[in-house]
Chains A and B, each alone.
Chain A
Amino acid sequence: MRPEQKKPDQGKKAARRRLSAKHREWLSGYLFVLPDAIGLLIFLGLPMVLSLVLAVFEVNGFGGYRYVGMANFVRMAKDPLFWSAVRVTAVYAVLLVPLLYVCGLGLALLVQKTNRFNAIMRAMFFAPHMVSLVVVAVVWQFMVVDKIGVINKLTPLLGIAGISFLGDPQFALVTVVFVSLWFLMGFYMLIFLGGLQDIPKEYYEAATIDGAGPFHCFWHVTLPLLKPTSFFVLMVSMVAAVAGAQAFDIIYVMTKGGPANSTSVLIVYIYQQAFSFGAFGYAAAMSSVLVIVLMLVTAIFFAMTKGGRFTYD
């Protein structure tokens, strides 16, 4: 870390005579940004570009690259497992995102008022988020395990029994969505709490004076004023669901994509193609599609938030 520490100083001393104050500021700016810029370039930018490049190669074993043109994309279009993975990813996202929104907001409203009791409750709601996804997956897997899992001992009380939560393709994806929800909703509760705090109290007072009940207040004051937070939550949770930020760990540990590929989201399928079958080119082709989709989403995100939320000085 020493060299970075010295550079701006050296640059300044050597250049004090020759460089104007303006140029000194320029030089310092570049040097300060340099370490992160290089790192991000190598470990984030380059991979994004490389996924496009790798996509037109076939990689055999360790090292041999053969140019195959669009073959990987053609294979993708014809691969029923790829389309199955796209469908599973879509179902995962479509189930999870609205649930996260409703549960996150619901929990936030429940403990919105600032007092000691609510502070403890918030911490308890958030606690699952502090445990690693691997442990979460392990614990839940044992909770829902066939016949002897504690959930299967409780379900007869609800009039249902003998569900194979992870063994039955019909239930496996729903179970994975549920575990993801359990892990994530405390985090989104916090984001919503932040948003709720920003709503001035006067609006509620005015609405109450006008005779609005709690439901009216929620519908006509809270929801409209929560728009920026809602937008953030929906966007981020949608991107996370599609990009598999949390899904991967849970699915990899709980089901490995099974049974019958019913939980094989895109990112798990990509990982298996690359690291189980060594099909790096094919995996990269699929990744590149995801990268492009995410870049587009980020661009929209940036354009839409620039107005009110990000301010340049």
Chain B
Amino acid sequence: MTEVRSSSYPSSSQVTIARILWMLVTAILALMILFPLLWMVSIAFKTPAESFSANLFPERPTLENFKYVLTGVPFLRYMANSFFVSASVTVIALFFHTMAGYALARLRFPGREIIFLAIFSTFLVSLPVIIVPLFVIVRAMGMLNTYAGLIVPAIFNAFGIFLLRQYYLSLPREIEEAAIVDGASYWRIYWSIILPLSRPIMSALAILFFLANWNAFLWPLTVASRADLWVVQVGIANFKSQYSASWNYMMAASTIVAIPTLVLFIIFQRQIMDSLKTSGLK
């Protein structure tokens, strides 16, 4: 702990033993934390016979497992479903949430605080808690086993509205003043001034929403029992109960499901980490 808190910053030439030790501990810890994921990828490339061995690097790497999973199981269909659902939720949610966030932050109208309080009151209510009544409502609306049933209930959450409102509160007032003097409508201000200004937070939220929905399991499991509507997470859970003895297939399937989000993470690492870091209610 000496390193982090010391107030004098050692220059890069002053590499001390303490610092090397510190880095070594960190690196070993990081590898331990990553190990399960490395293990998953490793087994995905192993032959059935080798999948019981404890070596991290396959002796004779094979693509057979991936071939089997992709051709023997409609995983491509599940992925297409996941993609369609996640993308739709993301686009619609961003549209609605920016509108609501803008109004709650910058327009004055009676009841605004009450509406915000009401939205905030749902902040900590997570899906598992309301899954039973939500299912009853969606069933009553005739949306069981439809894409609408997968998409529509997933759009609405207080988190996105809350973050956007906080962001819009931080913009200076002068931004709209000229437009208001010119008689621009509030829609116009939202569309041509506020939306372009929100590009950074919108791209961060887009990634978060997309990931959350790509990784969602409980709601898709509950609302869609028809196999052609399964998303990847439901597909893999069912694949597991079928193939629990075949590690190599299971890990290949898991790798296929995990790769898109991990790739997204590698590309947008900075945005994802920054947006989450500042989401600690500021």
- Which A residues contact B (CB, under 8 angstroms)? 1, 4-5, 8-9, 12, 24-30, 32-33, 35-37, 39-40, 42-48, 50-51, 54, 107, 109-113, 117-118, 121-128, 130-136, 138-140, 142-143, 148, 150, 153-154, 182, 186-187, 190-191, 193-195, 197, 201, 204-205, 208, 214-215, 217-218, 222, 228-229, 232, 236, 239-240, 243-245, 248-249, 252-253, 267, 270-271, 274-275, 280, 283-284, 287, 290-291, 294-295, 297-299, 301-302, 305, 309-313
Contacts and interface: CB of A to CB of B under 8 A. Distances in A.
B273 A123 contact: yes
Contacts of B132: 51, 54, 270, 274, 280, 283-284, 287
Interface string B123-153: 1111111111111110000000000000011
A245 B124 CA distance: 10
B135 to A, nearest CB: 7
Contacts of A201: 7
A124 B273 CA distance: 12
A138 B236 contact: yes
Contact of A194 (B1, B135, B277): B277
Contacts of B70: none
A48 B235 CA distance: 29
Contact of B222 (A27, A122, A193, A275): A275
B33 interface: yes
A132 B237 CA distance: 11
A148 B236 contact: no
Contacts of B128: 243-245, 248, 267, 270-271
Interface of B: 1-7, 22-23, 25-27, 29-31, 33-34, 36-37, 39-40, 43, 52, 54, 92, 95-97, 99-100, 102-105, 107-110, 112-113, 115, 117-137, 152-153, 155-158, 161, 169, 185-188, 190, 211, 214-215, 217-218, 222, 232-233, 236-237, 240, 247, 250-251, 254, 257-258, 261-262, 264-265, 269, 273, 276-282
Contacts of B269: 123
